[in-house]
Chain A
Amino acid sequence: KNQVEQSPQSLIILEGKNCTLQCNYTVSPFSNLRWYKQDTGRGPVSLTIMTFSENTKSNGRYTATLDADTKQSSLHITASQLSDSASYICVVSAYGNNRLAFGKGNQVVVIP
């Protein structure tokens, strides 16, 4: 079973609308959680990194939240743009080593 589960697998939203992506993990002990944006056929680009002591972090229109107690994170996209169409990948790191657990990604399609 994957240690990082993301939902929804895919979604379509209208340009200008907001959306929220979910990430649940079982990685333990927890070190940090990262959200990446991956455009089709490209490498992932870092959006946010949060440690257990941080419960929210923003990067422009992207806001990530973290609840280390429930092992849940969300990524909120505000006022979506067509360029937000991409896969958003949640990556969780275990404390004490460099190993990363990757989610399968949330595929977002923004339509005009």
Chain B
Amino acid sequence: GAVVSQHPSRVICKSGTSVKIECRSLDFQATTMFWYRQFPKQSLMLMATSNEGSKATYEQGVEKDKFLINHASLTLSTLTVTSAHPEDSSFYICSAKNDGTLVSPLHFGNGTRLTVT
């Protein structure tokens, strides 16, 4: 089955530094990838939709200059949390679809636990 690899699985960084999270589709090409944030016992919250070769589409309230998304190839999207603050501590998850149909399953990465100290 389709596999999405997310790296790192866990990262601790100091306030003010930047952190890059990678999302790779291992055995399929993903023209669209999605980035989510999840707080404990809460829904996944869509942050942005990443499109290969074009600018990401950000959800309302998500700062595009703080959460930089790059989707340079059909198998890789990256999320960079710039100048991280403790309130950015969360579980970040990516997902990808391997075709453009509305009913195709979303394949999720295993998430990245970010802790900002």
- Residues of A whose CB lies within 8 Å of any CB of B are 2, 4, 31-32, 34, 36, 41-46, 49, 51, 89, 91, 93, 95, 98-100, 102-105, 107
Contacts and interface: CB of A to CB of B under 8 A. Distances in A.
Interface of B: 4, 6, 32, 41-46, 49, 91, 93, 95, 102-103, 105-111, 113
Contacts of A99: 46
A110 to B, nearest CB: 18
Residue from B32, B43, B93 with most neighbouring chain A CB atoms (10 Å): B43
Contact of A98 (B43, B93, B102, B105): B102
A43 B103 contact: no
Nearest to B105: A46
B4 A43 contact: yes
B102 A43 contact: no
Nearest to A10: B41
> For chain A, what secondary structure do more than half of its interface residues adopt (helix, strand, loop), or is it mixed?
strand
A49 B111 contact: no
Contact of A102 (B41, B44, B105, B109): B44
B110 A43 contact: yes
A4 B46 CA distance: 14
Given A31-B102, A36-B108, A44-B108, 4 more contacts: A2-B43, A43-B109, A46-B105, A104-B41
Contacts of A49: 103, 105
